[in-house]
Amino acid sequence: MIELFKMLSNEHRLQILFWLKEPRNHFEAIDIEPEVDDFGVCMSIIQKKIGLSQSTTSSYLSGLVNSGLLLSVREGKWTYYKRNEQQIQELASYIKQQL
C-alpha cells in the first residue's frame, strides 16, 4: 500500500488518473484512438496534455503501471494506458476499512 500512496502523492500522477477515468471527456476526440476502450490513451497524447517532458511523463506512467494503478498495452511502436479499476477499487476498500 505504501507504493500506491507514493504514486498518489504527486499532482501530475493524480491528474493522469483523473483524465483516464473518462478519457473521452478529457482528451480531444481526434487524439483518441477508436480502440480507446480496449487499449487506452497513447503516451504521447498524455504527455502533450500534461505538458511535461517525455522522460518525466514516461517515468510517471511507468510508476503508475508498476504500482498497479494503470495497465499498459504495447501496440507496435505505441504504448497505451488505462486505469486498472480493480486495483483502484481495492485501494478504496482498504482506505474505507483500514483508515
**What cell numbers appear for 27 in the block?**
482528451
Say how far apart CA 46 and CA 78 lie, in whole Å. Answer: 12
SS3 74: strand
SS3 76: coil
- Inter-residue long-range contacts of 2-8, CB under 8 Å, 24+ positions, other chains counted: 3/66, 3/67, 4/67, 4/68, 4/69, 4/87, 4/91, 6/67, 7/63, 7/64, 7/67, 7/69
16: pLDDT confidence band, cut at 50, 70 and 90?
Answer: very high
What mean pLDDT is predicted for residues 67-74?
94
Question: At residue 47, what is the residue type?
Answer: Q
Q: Does residue 74 register a pLDDT over 60? A: yes
- Dump pLDDT digits (tens) for 35-66: 555 678 999 999 999 999 999 999 999 999 99
Q: Which residue has the higher pLDDT, 72 or 3?
A: 72
* Strand arrangement of the beta sheet that strand 70-75 belongs to: 41-42, 78-83, 70-75
Is the overall model pTM greater than 0.95, yes or no? no
